[in-house]
Amino acid sequence: ALVQGLFLGAMLLLVVYNFALYLLDRRDAAPLYYALSLASGCVMWLGLSGLSFAAFWPEHPAWDFYLLYFALPPGIFVFAQFMRRYLDTPHRLPELDRQFLWMAIFCAGLPPLIQLLRPLVPQALLERSAFPEFINAMTVSVPMFAALAAMHVAVVAVRKGLPSARL
């Protein structure tokens, strides 16, 4: 737990540092989006490692499970926004930027939508089919799709020679 705490502390220092960078230069929103994506990653780390259960709500262990559903969609969206701002895709790659923005909105909106619509599914369908596993697979595969889209944008940016995408 000590190593995990040190890692989380270093991540939180990066959040504070990047937020301070944004406050010093408000013309560039990239540090703000980076700080928010790091903060989302910290929240997910807390939930997946069990540290949030131990530190914040020991009487509610199920909250760790739901913490991922609350942190992942905004994390996907703010990371996509960070990439868009850092690579300046709205000006340098406008068509790819529009596609990436719609992908980010889709990936950030689909997991909560699936979870909100889940109670509307008839109980008989949930008990006698593989539908719950399908819903869970959809919820988990959306972040993988977002990661592949982000990798695609990064590769295109490197191939096009964008100044902020140099290796």
| Whole-number Å distance between alpha carbons of 100 and 149 | 7
C-alpha distance from residue 80 to each of 58, 61, 88 (Å): 33, 31, 12
Closest Cα partner for 149 from 108, 91, 116, 92? 108
Collect all residues with Cβ–Cβ distance below 8 Å to 56 and sequence separation of at least 6: none
Distance of CA 164 to the CA centre of its chain: 22
- Is 80 in contact with 119 (CB distance < 8 Å)? no
- Is 35 in contact with 19 (CB distance < 8 Å)? yes
Collect all residues with Cβ–Cβ distance below 8 Å to 114 and sequence separation of at least 6: 135, 138, 139
Helices (H), 25-62: 30-49, 51-55
Kindly give the confidence (pLDDT) of every residue in the chain, 167 residues in length, as a single tens digit, with 9 standing for 90 and above: 788 889 999 999 999 999 999 999 888 999 999 999 999 999 988 888 877 877 788 888 777 777 877 888 899 999 999 999 999 999 999 999 999 999 999 988 887 887 787 777 777 666 766 666 766 677 678 888 899 999 999 999 999 999 998 87
C-alpha distance from residue 89 to each of 95, 147, 154, 156 (Å): 9, 17, 10, 10
84: helix, strand or coil = helix
| Residue 60 confidence (pLDDT) | 81
C-alpha distance from residue 109 to each of 22, 48, 62, 95, 142 (Å): 26, 21, 23, 21, 10
